[in-house]
Each structure stands twice: as structure tokens, then as C-alpha cells.
Structure 1
């Protein structure tokens, strides 16, 4: 007799309590517009004035009160104009080095945007492991990343997998409890295997007097095996805000000391959740991630240095690319092009523990692929308020339905009520978002295949996605383990 598998899901989708398809601002515009029209009709008995007022109200609702795919028409037009303006002014191209278009840049390669203002602060955790915290002075944020090498689940018992999922969920829940934590990101980075370490190992161990047949077999293995292997690495980044930390964190150095005390507990919780043996990342690790993301071919050079036990001398101030060129639908890189798509709505219905496996697995359509999930820490008092507002919004939306309520409407009410009850009993509320970045060769065929695969991987997981035009540079860097969490660096990322 087979035991029934555990299912997950019932994610709550935040809704705006507007009338019908209108948002809350659209509903307010409608109410104010009707009041103005009624007043004008009572004062001015003119059909043309009334018709003009109604037409103006309809246009206002179309541009400002109705959202399609999460954006109003006015916002779409404003974004398109902003993209055109940036392109015309040359602001969509980023060039460093000798031909730099940056002010006060003397031939270096700084990271773009707000990352150029960051500093690395060295610390040592309770286990004696060195780490580098990325400090954002303008936001007073500190981000520390772990590199994880999780074991595959193919040979694991289902009971062990269920336990690791539960432990992982427990770690997520602690984010809203720990003082100072404002969020975290989990990134799965995958790429075809380079085969460098295998080749170096075989060449170092081969007997010069080995039989020719054995040598040919080993050469064939070294040449062919990387074509059938892949490298998969996980990164977990936790972000703290200094103002929300303990009173002892009076300055940046104190904040790093406070963070060092907390890293062992995060590492232990992540290890129990299936992350292998998480190791805090230092400056060379962070710079390598950036360099490989901009140019996937450099992964061969890094693997070669490691295979030969040579130190990697890398500087955070020079970790940036030689150039970036943002286009409406993609980002041009030194080593190809990249596109990022975002989750618009989470998977519908219930899912199993391996629901996102196809998304996370390596894929031959890309030079590199990163899937990033962002978790927002919400304090308990705010979580209860949001849950109560969710119930009221669902009741308001359901009250507008005439006739028999659909299964979707009943599910929305049921999930909102369950959310409210669980938070009242002490559960945590953790909003989340997801991005997926694919890097591919900059040619028409590779571009078409990669873009189609990006959408296919996400939509096959029963989630609704959106291709973000004009935001590709920002989204690309958000999928790197540098602590660029959306709600601190973007405007209303969870706004529907």
C-alpha cells in the first residue's frame, strides 16, 4: 500500500478591493467622476457637456483605473517613454575600461548602478569562517551570501525529502522573527559542465607508459563527458537593515559583528533543509559569480585556476563588465545576451515537492540559467493586519459576483480565511517573488530558442509570467547573490 504524498500550495494572491475589474484607485476615480458628472448635470443642462464628462471619465478609467497584466495603460506608456528617453541619451549602454563613458572612471571595471556604491566588509562567524558582507550605504543594508552544494534528490527516500522541505519551510518562517532581517533570496545557478577539473585530474594521474588503448579511452572520456554533465550551485543571501537590528549595531562594523553571531544558525537551518554544507562567500567568490554571469566562458578559466591550486586575485571594485547594452527585451553582455522573466502569479492549485524541478534543472538552451526566489520578512503585527485586509478584500470581491460563486471565488475566500486563522495562531507571513534569467548566444536562432524555453519552463509550472521590457538590466542583477531584493530597490514589486 503506497502512502499518499504530501502536497503544498494554497498561496494567497493579494487583490485590490475594487469594483469589478477596477483597482482601488480606479474605484475612487469612478466615484469621484460620477459625483462630478451629477453635479455638472444639475448645474449645466447641456448634453454635450455631459457626454464630454462621461467620455473623460471612461478615458481616465482606461488609462489609470484598469490594470492589465499588473500594469495600467498610463504606466505602460510612461515606461515606454522612459526607455526611449534613456536610449536616446545613451543611458542604456554601460561601458567601462579604457573607453568608459563613466565620469571619474580611470580605466577600471566597476559594477553598474547602485552596486558601484557598495563596499565589502570582512567578518568571521562563530565557526571561524571568513565572510564578506555587501554594504549598501545609501540603504544601510548588509547582505551575506552562502554558497551551497546540495545533493540531488534522486536517491533520497520520500520521508527524508518531506523532512527537508519542512526544515526549509521552518527556515523561511524564521526570517520574519529574527531582528533586523528584511528578506532573503535563494538562487539556483546551472550551466553545462566545463570538464576542466576532470581533464587536469586525468592528465596529472596518467601513467606515461600506459597502453595506447587505455590512453585513447581516457582522452575520449575527458572530451565527451563534459557534454553530458552540468554544474549546479545554490546561493542563499540574507539581508539585514541596520536600523532594525539590535541597539548594539551602532555602526557598520558593529552590524557586521552582530551578523557574524547569526550566520551559524542560518547555516545549520539551511543544511537541515537540504542545502548541503553552506559556506559563507568572500570577495573572490562574489567577484567570480559576477564575472561568470557577464561572460559564461570565464568559468573555464576559474575552474582551471582551482584545478591547479592557484589563488584567484579578484577585486570587488573591478568586478563589473566591460560593457552592457540594455534593450527593451534583453540585455547584451560581453559573453552573449540575457533575458529575465518574472512570475506574475504563483502556481495554481496544489503542487508536490518536485513541482519546480524542470525549472531548476540545467537546460541546453542556455549558456547559464538562474532561478531566483525572493522572500520578504513581515513582522507579526503587520502580518495580522494584512491577513485581515485580505479577508475583507476577498469578501468584497465575492460580494460583487452575481449568481453561483465559482470554484475560484470560493477558493480565494477559503485561502484568505485560512491565512488569517494560521497567522492568528502564530504562523509567519512571507510574501515571495520569482525571477528567471537565461543567458544565451547573441544570434537569432539561440535567442528564439532561449526565449521560448524561458516562457515554457515557467508556464509549464502553472504560473503566470511576464516578460519585463526596459527593466532587463535591473532584473539581471537581482538574480545574482548580491542582496538586491525587490521591495527595497524597486517600486511596489508585489503590487498586482
Structure 2
């Protein structure tokens, strides 16, 4: 057997869902309520048995919804909170958005709605004198930079090179844990059918009038038919930083600070197979958002960029003219979108191309965005989490038997491997995934839903529609630095305790 035939293709995995503190499904708050309620019940029972029942019955009714959880860990209280928030927004008319000169909004412009309404865009220049846009989230005091790249394809690439890219990508992610002030990062891969604008701009001006008629006809036919069998793919990486109010820094200083970080980030991406990577200017960010809300404008944007070098589009005009949020869809200008949220990552190990089908262009879908969200954890917290998971896995393995014990032993091996990797310098990162598909009409959503389900099955992912929060989920899949855990009414620490 040759060495190439005997080579085993590398597999990747060992991701684990963060453990919820507390007893079973109760969580930390439920566990405290159990022990506190039992102590109170015992004390009251010394006075009266009826009084003890009066304490015990409400306590049981409070704890019961905490024990009923969905597959992704949400309890009844969280499900009810989502529905209450939806009915509240609908009653206030917040699910409908109208902009432009004929609307009631001041300025008469097409500002992006929802979570993007409080975002402003600044611009600076990096060490290579390239313009880059900075999105400022005023309510959270966060600043986002967006990097655009053209990843090298995986076709005709040696497995060793793919393994090297994956290792370099892991190193880049681990480096994020040491980035000062970094709150999160997102990788957005957007695919859409090729409009043919760029091909026509490159080929048609080069056709000589004195060329043979057959040659001219062939080139025009290529320009006409080739886009129907090709697709457009764009990859963006957004990084969001927090600038604490105690620092009292000027906006110019913050932009200069971000400019010094860009070259190092770009070099790490290129080593990970991201290809040519450049920061996106404020105009380019506005164009991406504009096309997401109005897919029919994609051809006009590409034509303007090819003919004039840019569109001159401003952030204040990047939003839709009208938008309507429904329970299971989001209507905006010329598109209707639906977004899915990750429920369960692939169990076991996977190959490097597990997401290839999900990232590729899908038929009958106008645009598709796959957003991978990362929340780096600082080294000190990572060590505590890893050690706590290790102790919990060892305890569960010692208290279970049979098949359950076999699964617990697997958990112990995974926890031990994570502890060894963290001790040798690897970073700990929480991740999630969101998928947004955009079609031309609501009647096409059912077919798009079937397509997405098939793609998720090939990627071994379990996802659920972001019902009653489609508008916010749509915004989070845009390369604008919106981190879901930074925009929740309930603090993240309290949400994890539930």
C-alpha cells in the first residue's frame, strides 16, 4: 500500500456545549431557589403545616417551568418572554418600518432599521493608507471593523495544505482571546447567482469591431449564458471592540488604535487560506447592507462599481424603503428572508469540508448568508471553565453505569483533551451559527425551507427558525458587527444562570 493510500484524512471536533451550573435542568437560579425554598419550608413547618404547604406549592409552580427545556436549552420562561416581546413590539407598531422622503422619519433618508438604527459609520486609514470603515454602536459603546477576503477554494488542494489552513485558522481564533477589548467576531459568507455585470464589463469592451463575426458571436453568447451557471461569493469578517467609558478617548484615537491592528489581522487571515484580504471602506459596507435589503439592486451596484469605481452610497441611505416583520419571515424591499439559529453542532468528529455544501450557492435562492459567530474567552476564564468541565465530567463518569457510563467516559476523554490543549496555549471560544436565505416572494419560502433543511442535513447541523425575532436575526447575519449576546434585555450572566 502506498503512503498516499495509507494516509488518514484529519478529522476535527471536540466542541462541547457550555455546562449550565446547578442541579440538572434547573440552572443556578433554580438550584438556589430549591435549597432556599426547602430551608424556608422546614422552618415554616415548625409553626404550621398549612403554612409550609403555602410556601411549597408556589415554589413548585415556579420551579416546574425551569425543568422543561427545549433541545437548545431554553426553558418555558424564556419561550414566554420571546412571545411577550413579540406582542409588545407588534402592539407598538415596531414590526413595520417605512423610510424615505414620504415617511414620518426625520431627514427623509433610508436609514437601516432595528438594531442598526443607532449605528453610525466613521472612516479612517490603516498603515497601508487604505480607507476602512468603523461602525460605532452608540448604545453599547462598541466599534466594529469589517475585513473582506477571497478565500482559496478547496478543489485540487493537497490535504496537507488544507490541514495547515485549518491549523492557521485555529491559531487566528486563539489569538482573538488576547486581543484587547475584543467582544466578538463574525465570519459571513454570502452567496448569490452571478448577475453577469462584471463579466460583461470585462469582455464586451474588449471585443474588436474588426474581429470575425463568429468570434464576436461566441463571446457575446458566453457573456449571456455563463452567469446562469455561476455564482457570486463574498466573505466578510467583522470584529467588534469595546471602548469603556472610563478610558475617555477621542474618536480619532480609537480609529488610530484600530488602524494599527488591521495589518496583523490581515496577515493571520492570509496564512489561514483567506486569500487577498483588505479592510472594507464605509462606502463598501453601505453597499453590502443596501444589497442585502434590496437584492434587486445588486446588478446596479456592481455596474456602478465597474463603470465609475464606486457608488457614492452613504450609510444613511443603505436601509430599505419599507420592511415588515412577521412571525416566521422578514419582508424588505425586493426580498423576503428567513433566518435559522443553531440548535446543536455536529456530534463527534467532522471533515474539513463539512460546511462546503451549506456555503455554496443554492438554486432558487436569491441570496444566502451563513454567519459564524465567535465569542473569545480570556485565558484566565478559559482555565476556570476547562477545569470545571473536567471535574464535572469525572464526577458524572463515576456516578453512571452501562451505556450512560460509556458516554460519560467519552465526555471525560474530551474534557481531558481540552484541558491539555488549553494548558499548551490553545484558546477557548464560544461559537454559534446563523443562516439567512432571501427569496423574491413569500410563496418561495417553503421551497427555500426544504433546500436549507437538506443542506443542514449534509452539514450534520440542527437549526431552528428565529421565529418572532426575524428582523433582529436578519441584522445579525450582516457583516456589521452585531453580536446577539450584546443586545439582550436580560444580562448574559443572568441568562446563563437560568
Structure 1 length normalisation: TM-score? Answer: 0.91
Q: Would you say the 8 A contact 1:459–1:465 is kept in 2?
A: no
Distance in structure 2 (CA, Å) of the matches to 1:334 and 1:180? 36
* Matching residue of 1:16: 20
Whether the 8 Å CA contact 1:339–1:472 is kept in 2: the answer is yes
Aligned to 1:159: 160
TM-superposed CA distance for 1:168, in Å, is 1.2
- Structure 1 residue 332: Cα displacement: 0.8
Where do 1:174-185 residues align within 5 Å? Answer: 174-185=175-186
Q: Quick check: 2:397–2:405 contact (8 Å CA) kept in 1?
A: no
Q: Is the aligned partner of 1:481 residue 2:485?
A: no
Q: Which moved more, 1:205-214 or 1:413-422?
A: 205-214
Q: Structure 2: where are the runs of 5+ without partners?
A: none
1:67-466 residue pairs with structure 2 within 5 A?
A: 67-69=69-71, 70-102=73-105, 105-243=106-244, 250-395=249-394, 397-398=396-397, 401=400, 405-444=404-443, 446-466=444-464
Query: Counterpart in 2 of 1:59?
Result: 61
* Residues in 1 aligned to 2:92 and 2:331: alpha-carbon distance in whole angstroms: 18
Secondary structure at the counterpart of residue 153 of structure 1 = coil
Question: Conserved in 2, the CA contact under 8 Å of 1:23 and 1:67?
Answer: no
CA contact (8 A) 2:116 2:475 kept: no
> Does the CA contact (< 8 Å) of 1:341 and 1:436 recur in 2?
yes
Do 1:235 and 1:481's aligned partners in 2 also have CA atoms closer than 8 Å?
yes
| Total equivalences in the alignment | 489
1:58-110 residue CA offsets vs partner (Å, 9 max, x unmatched): 432232343223221122122212212211221111111134244xx131111
Secondary structure in structure 2 of the residue aligned to 1:67: coil
1:308 counterpart SS class: helix
Residue 31 of structure 2 aligns to a residue in which SS?
A: helix
Distance 1:118 1:162, change over 3 A: same
Alignment partners' CA distance in 2, 1:178 and 1:31: 40
Deviation at 1:52, TM superposition (A): 7.1
Tell me the secondary structure at the aligned position of residue 23 of structure 1: helix
Change (3 A) 1:338 1:408: farther
Counterpart secondary structure, 2:342: strand
* Structure 1, unaligned runs of 5 or more: none
Counterpart contact for 1:176–1:182, Cα < 8 Å: no
By how many angstroms is 1:371 displaced? 0.8
1:297 CA drift (Å): 1.4
SS in 2 for 1:98: coil
TM-score (norm 2): 0.91
Q: After TM superposition, give the deviation of residue 213 of structure 1 in Å.
A: 4.0
Check if 1:6 corresponds to 2:10.
Answer: yes
Q: State whether residues 342 and 468 of structure 1, in contact with CA within 8 Å, keep that contact through their aligned partners in structure 2.
A: yes
Q: Contact between 2:150 and 2:275, CA under 8 Å: does it hold in 1?
A: yes
Whole-angstrom CA distance in 2 between matches of 1:369 and 1:159: 30
1:251 CA drift (Å): 2.0
Q: Would you say the 8 A contact 1:18–1:397 is kept in 2?
A: no
Match of 1:32 in 2: 36
**Cα pair 1:296 1:335 within 8 Å, conserved:** yes
Secondary structure of the residue that 1:354 maps to in structure 2? coil
Q: Is the 8 A contact 1:20 1:400 kept in 2?
A: no
CA gap of 1:244–1:234, structure 2 versus 1, over 3 A, is farther
